[in-house]
Structure 1
Amino acid sequence: MSTTTTEAPPGILIPSLPNDVALQCLARVPRQYHPVLAAVSKPIRSLLSSPELFAARSSLNSTESLLYLTIRSLYGKPKGWFTVYGRRSNTNDDNKSNIIVAPVPGVPKDRLDWSDCAAVGSKIYVVGGINCVSYSTKVWIFDCRFHTWERGPGMPTVRSQAAKTVVLDSKIYVIGCWTEKKSWVLVFDTVARSWETLPSPKLGVYNERVVGCTIRGGKVCVWLEREEIRFDPATETWEVFESGVRPGFHWTAQMCEVNGVLYCADEDTRTIRGLNERNGIWKELKLVNNRGLPNRFRDPCMVNVGGRLVIMGLGYPRDEIFTSELELWCAEIEVKMDRDGDLLGEVLWSKLVFSMSSLLVDMEPLFYTCLPVSF
């Protein structure tokens, strides 16, 4: 005797419409409205994180960039991973209600401070870090399409945390590690899901701080305290180069290129500056409106989201002269260069995402980053 299992019919997505037609309708809805759709019904909520919806959106060429935030610290309120829904293009609209910061579900309980993140395709890779008192080789992979986490292939044994990660041709370059093989850069091939080590440019590089790194001209460019070096994947060789970035310029380790201008943060003045490589001149990014942002950012991280500059950083409350609080802000800025070569920024939206005691931040670091993911 044989038995058959009858699957329960799928829930109705939209009354009076066949589910295949409803799927095509819902696949056209921008992601900024997905939190609202999720509250409509259980079938729609399940659909929003299903392979069927992703396949339908891909066939319709409806790929969008979504911004993901991570916030971690040793003290303070519980934090985690968040998705930013909604991006306003009308700069005259002061209504912030369409900017939603929603928590990411199912984040692993593994606590890794000083880890770094990289986005490749629709996935975010969380690499290394410090677990209690030891350096970790763990890799976690988050699939933004389906809100699922998995353990990835671990890194080779490391003796320090990564200074920064950059992505080139689906490969993640983990820069600043010191492994037992004396390798300074590890490379993770996200397609082959395997690790390899790069030859170090020189022995003394282990003692130099990485003050910036990015991908330019198909090469991995790294700025050290005293010189600039870059790796050419085509020839698998390192070389010294000059970019116009003057030695002694006090950056954070975060860099970002938008519309041909290289942006970085000046640690001394706590301002954002951009380098126009055509004339080698640094200019401060001037905000023509601030929409409640702090006057100065502290330790900002920056990413390019569709040709716009997204900044996430700490600042003191604007309306308080004496305060022990620090606020963590995220903002999207339209950047452009005027006829005089000055850099101007138009804040499209800004959002206060977290606040805590400045004393705690000084005693125990606050770890945060922002990543654009297209899917």
Structure 2
Amino acid sequence: MNGEEPRRRRRMTILMLPNDLVYNCLARVSRLYYPILSLVSKRFRSLLASTELYQTRTLLGRTECCLYVCLRLHSGTQTLRWFTLSREPINSTKTLVPISSPNSPSALWSDAVMVGPNIYAIGGLVNDNASSSVMVMDCRSHTWREAPPMRVAREFHSDTWREAPPIPMRTYREFLHSACVLDGKIYVPGGSEDLDLTNWMEVLDTKTQTWEFFQIPSKEIFEGSKYLTAVYEGTFFVKCVYKHVMYKVHKGRWRAADIILKDSWGDRRYSCYCVIENVFYRYNDSKINWYDFNDRVRKTLKGFVGLPSLTRFSLAKMVDYRGKMALLWEEHVFVDNRKETRFWCAEIAIEKRHKQEIWGVVEWSGVVSTTSKPYSLAHVLATTI
């Protein structure tokens, strides 16, 4: 009781302050601690979710990069769960904390992109039918709302495949990048078999919240069932995976893309990629490569040494983490004859050195979640708030 009373007194003291002063205090605390602080009281939860707090963080220069992870439960319900990277209050270790929201999207095989502080969950399957629905989560308040639906119902997944030995056989759906963001607009290609040149791609202007079709120049772009997209050097790229076809959109016009860059994406199941400060990075076979636009060759990220449990069979995701690279991957182990899935995260600093060399320095890595349920990585996104 003697220890509880001072804690209660301190809590009552800060709650008695005007909101402006509370915002000023909370804005100076890392957002990694916000999930813990939200347990203090209902008023704290309301303050932590308010736009005024994030305006204060911006004014004080206290914005920081936040990581969001979506896991898919491979069961009869195919549940999707969203998490944010947080910090434990006692030992300061980083962990994935689930985001609970009554209006979270339930569509299977949807795509997801980040625009400013908002996550857009696009399309997917609802009752085994392709959906045109779009849901948006405000990462400041962790609340979901409906956005204008697409004009065409779309879903985003590829063929089923199985993991290679020595990992026990397990069924997955491999996600390929589909939707992509350029200048505040979300480009959404494919996702349906009944498409033509006029409706294969549509674009959402997030400022006006309106959808428009974006006509493509040739049907060879969508003749393949799988494709990749990326924004690189201020240009939107779309690549058909199983055909030697790649196009780009620059200043609203379609053009043929660099054949060398096409080969840098990789088609392997365990590949993933991201763009950081206009440099194209790809993870494949436990290595990270980058594309040298000047020399038109793919180079190895130097200084990067294999991380614990990172193997060529690891299903991984990578994302721009405010100029650094966040890499997440799965590890499957047996503990007391029970299969567990461990989700690892690493933060890698990018250093551009002389002679057009890029080095990766692993600043931190660790297990952020462990589960005995059949979860797998679906999406990894980052935003600065």
Query: So what's the TM-score if we normalise by structure 1?
Result: 0.79
Cα distance in 1 for residues equivalent to 2:118 and 2:193: 26
Question: Where in structure 2 are the equivalents of 1:130-149 lying within 5 Å?
Answer: 130-149=125-144
- The Cα RMSD (Å) is 3.4
Aligned twin of 2:82:
81
State which of 282, 294, 312 in structure 2 corresponds to 1:264: 282
Over residues 69-114 of structure 1, what are the superposed CA-to-partner deviations in whole Å (9 max), with x where a residue is unaligned?
1111332997611111359xxxxxxx97331321112153642221
Name 1:228's counterpart in structure 2: 246
Contact 1:251 1:264 in 2 (8 A): no
Amino acid at match of 1:264: R
Q: Counterparts in 2 of 1:168-317, with a 5 A limit?
A: 168-178=182-192, 180=194, 182=196, 183-224=199-240, 225-232=243-250, 234=251, 236-242=252-258, 244-245=260-261, 247=263, 249-251=266-268, 254-266=272-284, 269=285, 271-285=287-301, 288=304, 292-296=308-312, 298-317=314-333
Task: Tell me how far 1:301 sits from its aligned partner.
Answer: 1.8
Is residue 2:108 matched to residue 1:113? yes
Which amino acid letter does the alignment assign opposite residue 115 of structure 1? Answer: S
Partners of 2:343 and 2:93 in 1: how far apart?
Answer: 19
Q: Is the 8 A contact 1:312 1:369 kept in 2?
A: no
Deviation of the 1:260 alpha carbon: 4.4
Q: Deviations over 1:309-358 (max 9, x none)?
A: 112233344x99x996554333222233566746434142333424457x
Instruction: Determine what percentage of the aligned residue pairs are the same residue.
Output: 27
Structure 2 counterpart of 1:130, one-letter code: L
Q: Is the 8 A contact 2:190 2:200 kept in 1?
A: yes
**Unpaired stretches in structure 1, ≥5 consecutive residues:** 1-10, 88-94
The aligned counterpart of 1:90 is none
Task: Pick one of 135, 149, 156 that aligns with 1:154.
Answer: 149
Amino acid at match of 1:314: E
User: What secondary structure, in the 3-state scheme, does the structure 2 residue paired with 1:137 have?
Assistant: coil
Give the deviation of 1:167 after TM superposition: 0.8
**Would the aligned equivalents of 2:342 and 2:367 in 1 still touch at CA under 8 Å?**
no
What letter matches 1:226 in structure 2?
H
1:3 corresponding residue in structure 2:
none
Deviations 1:149-173 (A, max 9, x none): 1111111123653751111111111
Note closer, same or farther for the CA distance 1:16–1:112 as it changes in structure 2 (3 Å cut).
Answer: closer
Question: What's the counterpart of residue 62 of structure 1?
Answer: 62
Residue 200 of structure 1 and its aligned partner are, at CA, apart by 1.6
Closer/same/farther in 2, CA of residues 345 and 210 from structure 1, 3 Å limit: farther
Deviations 1:127-159 (A, max 9, x none): 001223211111111111122111111111236
* Amino acid aligned to 2:348: I
Structure 2: unaligned runs, 5 residues or longer: 1-10, 158-176
In 2, the alpha carbon distance for the partners of 1:195 and 1:263 equals 30
Rounded to whole Å, the distance in 2 between the matches of 1:257 and 1:143 is: 23
- What is the CA–CA distance in structure 1 between the aligned matches of 2:300 and 2:87, rounded to whole Å? 28
**Structure 2 match to 1:166:** 180
Q: Which residue of structure 2 lines up, in the alignment, with residue 92 of structure 1? A: none
- In structure 2, relative to structure 1, the CA distance for the partners of 1:146 and 1:243 (3 Å cut) is same
Look up the equivalent residue of 2:283 and give its one-letter code. A
Contact 1:316 1:323 (8 Å CA) reproduced: no
Counterpart of 1:21, as a letter, is: L
User: 1:169-193: CA deviations, max 9, x gaps?
Assistant: 1111112334755222111111111
Q: Measured at CA, do residues 150 and 137 of structure 1 come closer, stay the same or move farther in structure 2, by a change above 3 Å?
A: same
Q: Partners in 1 of 2:155 and 2:36 — Cα distance?
A: 43
- For residues 25 and 275 of structure 1, the distance between their equivalents in structure 2, rounded to whole angstroms, comes to 43
Q: Distance in 2 between matches of 1:293 and 1:337?
A: 27
